[in-house]
């Protein structure tokens, strides 16, 4: 057996030495901590964020994103919806103290019409003005091409914001 073949064989079928077991355990522990608690995989279900995120696509939720800062307007955030596994991926459109309103599908914040280049589909929503409460942010999906009643959006408490998508 040549040296190259030996190395390949050793890579795929390593000998179960003590050193190898320690290394494998450390890799497993790191993977568990990283992918289980810091950067959790997301399977996007639903079309409420199209065309920014597509139904069935994969992403990661980076949970350290808002450790030292608060979500800003237009940020994408993951909102804890139920348990620790079900979350909503939404865009922040207003922060605490601002007034949100929809007029014929156009978003108004504090009475000013907002430019939303990420909204690609027609929308005819109407929502009377409401002020975002302290300790909350207002989130909406990018796809508003559905009746307003069928879209999960609104004011979310900051304690439910668990991070943001990695890309």
Partner 1 sequence: MVRIKHIIIAVLVVIFGIWGIWAAVHFFQSEEKKVKKQFHLLSKWTSKETGENTFAMAQKVKNIGKLFAEHCELKANVISFTGRYTTEEISSYAARARFPFSNLSLRFYDFNVAFPEEGSAKVTLTAKLTGRTATGEDVDETHELECALKKIENKWLFSYLEVVEVLKK
Residues within the interface to partner 1 (CB under 8 A): 79-86, 88, 127, 139, 152-156, 160
Cβ proximity to partner 1, 10 vs 133, nearer residue: 133
Cβ proximity to partner 1, 84 vs 115, nearer residue: 84
Shortest distance, position 48 Cβ to partner 1, whole Å: 11
Question: Which helix (H) or strand (E) is 161 found in, with range?
Answer: strand 161-165
| Residue burial 130-142, b: 16+ Cβ < 10 Å; e: rest | eebeeebbbbbbb
Shortest distance, position 104 Cβ to partner 1, whole Å: 17
Round to whole Å and give the CA distance between 120 and 50: 8
Give the DSSP letter string of 73-113. Answer: TT-EEEEEEETTTEEEEEEEEEETT-EEEEETTEEEETTEE
Shortest distance, position 154 Cβ to partner 1, whole Å: 4
Cβ proximity to partner 1, 67 vs 82, nearer residue: 82
The β-bridge partners of 103 are: 106
Cβ proximity to partner 1, 31 vs 86, nearer residue: 86
Shortest distance, position 79 Cβ to partner 1, whole Å: 6
């Amino acid at each position: 057996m040549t040296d190259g073949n030996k190395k390949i064989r050793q890579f795929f079928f390593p000998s179960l030495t003590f050193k190898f077991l320690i290394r494998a355990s450390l890799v497993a522990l790191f993977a568990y901590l990283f992918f289980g608690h810091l950067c959790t995989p997301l399977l996007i279900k639903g079309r409420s964020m199209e065309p920014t995120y597509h139904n069935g696509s994969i992403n990661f939720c980076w949970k350290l994103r808002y450790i030292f800062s608060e979500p800003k307007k237009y940020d994408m955030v993951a909102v804890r919806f139920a348990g620790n596994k079900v979350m909503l991926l939404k865009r922040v459109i207003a922060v605490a103290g601002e007034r949100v309103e929809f007029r014929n599908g156009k978003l108004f914040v504090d009475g000013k019409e907002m430019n939303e280049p990420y909204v690609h589909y027609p929308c005819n929503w109407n929502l009377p003005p409401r002020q975002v409460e302290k300790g909350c942010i207002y989130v909406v999906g990018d796809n508003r091409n559905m009746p307003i009643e069928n879209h999960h959006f609104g004011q979310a408490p900051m304690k439910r914001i668990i991070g943001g998508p990695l890309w």
